[in-house]
Amino acid sequence: MSDQQQNNGDGKGDQELGAWERLLGCTWKTPLGFLGVGLTTVSITLIILGLIGHLTGLIANHYFAIFTFLFLPAMMLFGLCLIPLSCYFRRKKWFKDSLINTEHLKIDLADKEHRKGILLFIVLSVVNITVLILVAYEGYHFTDSSYFCGVVCHQVMDPEYTAYQRSPHAKVSCVSCHIGPGANWYVQAKLSGLRQVKAVIDGDFNRPIPAPVEHLRPARDTCESCHWPEKFHGKRVKEFISFTNDNQTDADTQEISLHIGGRNPITSEFEGIHWHVSHDIKVEYQALDEKRTKIGKIKVTRPGGVTEEYSIADEVPEEGVALKWRTMDCIDCHNRPTHVYDGLEEVIDFGLHSRKINPEIAGIREDSMSVLKTEYSSRDEAAEKIVEDLLEHVAKRHGNEFVAEHEKEIVVSGSFLLEAYLNNVWPKMKVTWGTYRQHLGHQYADDGYGCFRCHDDEHETKFGKIIGQDCNMCHDEP
Ligand code: HEC
Ligand code: HEC
Ligand code: HEC
Ligand code: HEC
Ligand code: HEC
C-alpha cells in the first residue's frame, strides 16, 4: 500500500478515516502540498503581525512595508495555488491506490464531521479574504505613495525625487501629476510601472530619463484639479539677481512684473500669459523635434470655431519625428513645476547673494564655477573632493597663507557648492547642469527653450500676422 497510509502519523488506522480526511490529510503530506500549506500559513501569520504593526503605527519602516504589502501577499497567493495543484498531480495515484473514491467524496450535511469541516473552511476563507483585502488596500496606498515612487527605484528616480522634495509641490504626491483620478489611468500606470520595474532590473533604461515625457496625462486632468485658469488674475513681481566675475559684490537686480493674466473684469476677455490655456481658446502646435524645442505650425482656435494658422519658413522635422498636433497645456511652459534643477551660474549667484559663498574673496565666483564644472565620476567622489578643490583653486589664486587665514569661510563656501552639486548632478544617470531646462521665460532661448519658440517674430499667418516679442505683452519692461 502507499506510503501515505503507513505514515499517517496521527495514530489512527486508515480504516477509521473518511475519504475526505484522507484526501485532506494526504494533500499536505506531499512535498508540493506541504510547501503550499507551509507558505500560506507562515505568510499569513507574518502578514497579520505586519498589519498590526503597521496599523498601530508601531513599525513605520518602508522596507518593512514592501515586505508586508508586496512580498508576503505574493508568497501567500503562491502557496494557496500550490495546494489544489498538489491534489491535481497526486489524484491519479490516489485513485489508483483507492485511497480516495469519488463515491465517498460527497458532502453530507447530516454528518457532524462534515459540518465541522465546512465551518472550518468558511472561517479560514473569511480570514484569508479579510487579510487579502486589508493588504490590497494598504498596498494600493503604499504603491501610490511618493516614497514608493521615489525611493524603491532609488538610483533611477533619485534626481526627480531630490528635485521634487525641494519644490513648491513637495507635499503633492507623484500620482496627482503622473496618474491623476480615474481607474483607467490607474491601470495604465500600474502596467507601465511593471514594464519600468523590468527595465530597471535589466538595467535597460535611458540615462538621463528623456524629457518631455511622451505619454504624460494632459495637464487639464491633473494640474487643473488644484489650479484652474479661471482663478488666475493680476501680476506677479519677480526679482532676478545676478553677479559677474568682475563684480561679485554688487548684484544686478532685474525686477519684472509678469502679466499672469485672467479675465478682464470689464471686457470679460481672457488676457495675459494664461490666455493659452483659458477654456475659450485652443492653441495647438507641431513640434519639429522630440524635445519640442523647435516648433513648426501653430493653430489657434477661438470661440465660435474661428481658426488661425501660423507657419514658419523652415518647417522640416528632424529625422524620425512624425508631425503631430499637440494641444498646448500647462506643461508646455511649466515643464519643470516640481523637478526643478538650478542653473550653474544661477545657483552660484544665489550663494553670493545669500552670503553662503563669501563675495569678499576675490575670484571666488570664477573658482566656484570651475569647481562645479568638474566632472566627478560619482556623487561620493564629489562629496570627498569639492571642498578640497575649492581650497586648492583659492590657494592658486591667493597663495597658501591666504587660505590658512580664511580657511573657515572657504570651507563654508565649499560646503554650499557641494550641496548645490548634490541637488543637481547624478553622474550615473547622466544628469548634470543644464540636462533638464525649463520653458518659462527666455533665459535659454538660444537653446530653443521658452516662450520665444513661438514668440519669435517669425511664425506668420498667410496674412502676415506674427506672434510677437513685444516685452510689454508679457511683463512690464525691466
Ligand atoms: C506637480 C506635478 C508633479 C509631481 C508632484 C511629480 N511630477 Fe514628475 N513630472 C512632472 C511633469 C510635468 C513632468 C514632465 C516634464 C516634461 O515633460 O518635460 C515630470 C517628469 C518626470 C520624470 C521624467 C524625467 C524628467 O525630469 O522630466 C520622472 C522620472 C518623474 N517625473 C518622476 C516623479 C516622481 C518619482 C515623483 C514623486 C516623487 C514626481 N515625478 C512628482 C510633474 C510632476
Ligand atoms: C494636489 C494639488 C496640486 C496639483 C495637482 C498641482 N499643484 Fe501646483 N501648486 C500646488 C500648491 C499647493 C502650490 C503652492 C505652493 C506654495 O505656495 O508654496 C502650487 C504652486 C504652483 C506653482 C507656483 C510655484 C511658485 O514658484 O510659486 C506653479 C507654477 C504650479 N503650482 C504649477 C503646477 C502644474 C503645472 C501642475 C501640473 C503638472 C500642478 N501645479 C499641479 C498644488 C498643486
Ligand atoms: C504660456 C505659458 C504658460 C502656460 C501655458 C501656463 N502657464 Fe502658468 N505661468 C506662466 C508664467 C510665465 C508664470 C509666471 C511665474 C513665473 O515666471 O514663475 C506662470 C505662473 C503660474 C502660477 C503662479 C501664479 C501666481 O499668481 O503666482 C501658477 C499656479 C501657474 N502658472 C499654473 C499654471 C497651470 C495650472 C497651467 C495650465 C492650466 C499654466 N500655468 C499654464 C506661464 C504659463
Ligand atoms: C512671450 C513673453 C515674453 C516676452 C515677449 C518677453 N519676455 Fe522677458 N520674460 C518673460 C517671462 C515669462 C520671464 C520670467 C521667466 C522666469 O520666471 O524665470 C521673463 C524674464 C525676463 C527677464 C529676467 C530674466 C532674465 O533673463 O534675466 C528679463 C531681463 C526680460 N525678461 C527681458 C525682456 C525684454 C527686454 C523683452 C523685450 C525684448 C522681453 N523680456 C520680452 C516673458 C517674455
Ligand atoms: C506653442 C507656441 C507658444 C508658446 C510656446 C508661447 N506662446 Fe504665447 N502666444 C502664442 C500664440 C499663437 C499667441 C496669440 C498671438 C495672437 O493671436 O496675437 C500668443 C499670445 C500670447 C500673449 C497675449 C495673450 C493675449 O492677451 O491675447 C501673451 C501674454 C503670451 N502669449 C505670453 C507667452 C509667454 C509668457 C510664453 C512663455 C512662458 C508664451 N507665450 C509661450 C503661442 C505661444
pLDDT tens for each residue of 186-209: 888 888 888 887 888 888 888 999
Query: Mean pLDDT, to the nearest integer, of 106-121?
Result: 85
Kindly state if the Cβ of 358 falls inside 6 Å of ligand 4: no
**Does pLDDT of 6 surpass 70?**
no
Kindly state if the Cβ of 332 falls inside 6 Å of ligand 5: yes
User: Ligand 4, closest atom to CA 469?
Assistant: 5
**Does pLDDT of 13 surpass 60?**
no
Kindly state if the Cβ of 216 falls inside 6 Å of ligand 1: yes
Kindly state if the Cβ of 427 falls inside 6 Å of ligand 1: no
Instruction: Please give the pLDDT value at position 395.
Output: 97
**Does pLDDT of 139 surpass 80?**
yes
Q: How far is the CA of 443 from the centre of ligand 3 (A)?
A: 16
Instruction: Please give the pLDDT value at position 99.
Output: 62
Instruction: Please give the pLDDT value at position 353.
Output: 97
Residue scoring higher pLDDT (21 or 318): 318
**Does pLDDT of 266 surpass 60?**
yes
Kindly state if the Cβ of 176 falls inside 6 Å of ligand 2: yes
- At 332-361, the pLDDT tens digits run 999 999 999 999 999 999 999 999 999 999
The helix or strand, by DSSP H or E, that contains position 83, with its residue range, turns out to be helix 72-96
Query: Mean pLDDT, to the nearest integer, of 60-66?
Result: 79
Instruction: Please give the pLDDT value at position 321.
Output: 92
**Does pLDDT of 19 surpass 60?**
yes
Instruction: Please give the pLDDT value at position 16.
Output: 52
Averaged pLDDT of the chain = 88
**Does pLDDT of 445 surpass 80?**
yes
Ligand with minimal distance to 148 CA: 1
Residue 130 in grid coordinates: 479579510
Q: How far is the CA of 160 from the centre of ligand 1 (A)?
A: 7
User: Ligand 5, closest atom to CA 295?
Assistant: 1
Kindly state if the Cβ of 227 falls inside 6 Å of ligand 2: yes
Among 53-62, 108-117, 257-266, 455-464, which range has the highest average pLDDT? 455-464
Spell out a b/e string for 255-284, using b for 16 or more CB atoms within 10 Å of the CB, else e: ebebbebbbeeeeeebbbbbbbbbeebbbb
Which pLDDT band holds residue 12 (cuts at 50, 70, 90)? very low
- At 282-322, the pLDDT tens digits run 999 999 999 999 999 999 999 888 999 999 998 899 999 99
Q: What is the pTM of this model?
A: 0.87
Instruction: Please give the pLDDT value at position 100.
Output: 61
CA–CA dist 275, 435 (Å, integer): 29
Instruction: Please give the pLDDT value at position 348.
Output: 97
CA–CA dist 207, 299 (Å, integer): 34
How many Cα atoms sit within 13 Å of 267 on the Cβ side? 5
**Nearest protein Cα to ligand 1, atom 35:** 150
**Nearest protein Cα to ligand 5, atom 43:** 454
Burial class (CB in 10 A: 0-12, 13-18, 19+), 163: buried
Query: Mean pLDDT, to the nearest integer, of 379-385?
Result: 97
**Does pLDDT of 8 surpass 60?**
no
Q: What angle do CA 120, 122, 124 make, to 5 degrees?
A: 65
Q: How far is the CA of 274 from the centre of ligand 2 (A)?
A: 14
